Structure 1
Amino acid sequence: MRKSCSALALILATCAPPLSAQTLQCGARDTVLDMLTAQDQTRRAIGLAGRAVMEVFAANDSARWTITVTMPDGRMCLLANGVAFDALDEVLPMRGTAL
Structure 2
Amino acid sequence: MTRKSKFLHLAALTVAAAIYLAAAGHAAAQANTRNCGPRALVVDRLATTYGETRQSMGLGTGNQVIEVFASSETGTWTITVTTPAGMTCLVASGQAFEELAEALPAPGNDA
TM-score in same-fold range (> 0.5): yes
- Report % sequence identity: 37
Q: Which runs of 5+ in 1 are unaligned?
A: none
Deviation string, structure 1 residues 41-82 (Cα, Å, up to 9, x no partner): 011010000210000000011100000011011001000000
> Which structure shows the higher strand fraction?
1
Normalising by structure 2, what TM-score? Answer: 0.77
Partner secondary structure for residue 67 of structure 2: strand
Confirm or deny: 8 A CA contact 1:4 1:89 kept in the other structure. no
1:90 aligns with 2:97: no
- Taking structure 1 as reference, are residues 52 and 17 closer, same or farther at Cα in structure 2, changes over 3 Å only? closer
Unpaired runs of at least 5, structure 2: 1-7
- Residue 8 of structure 1: CA displacement? 0.6
Q: Which residue of 1 aligns with 2:59?
A: 48
> TM (normalized to structure 1)?
0.85
Aligned partners of 2:59, 2:24: CA distance in 1, in Å?
19
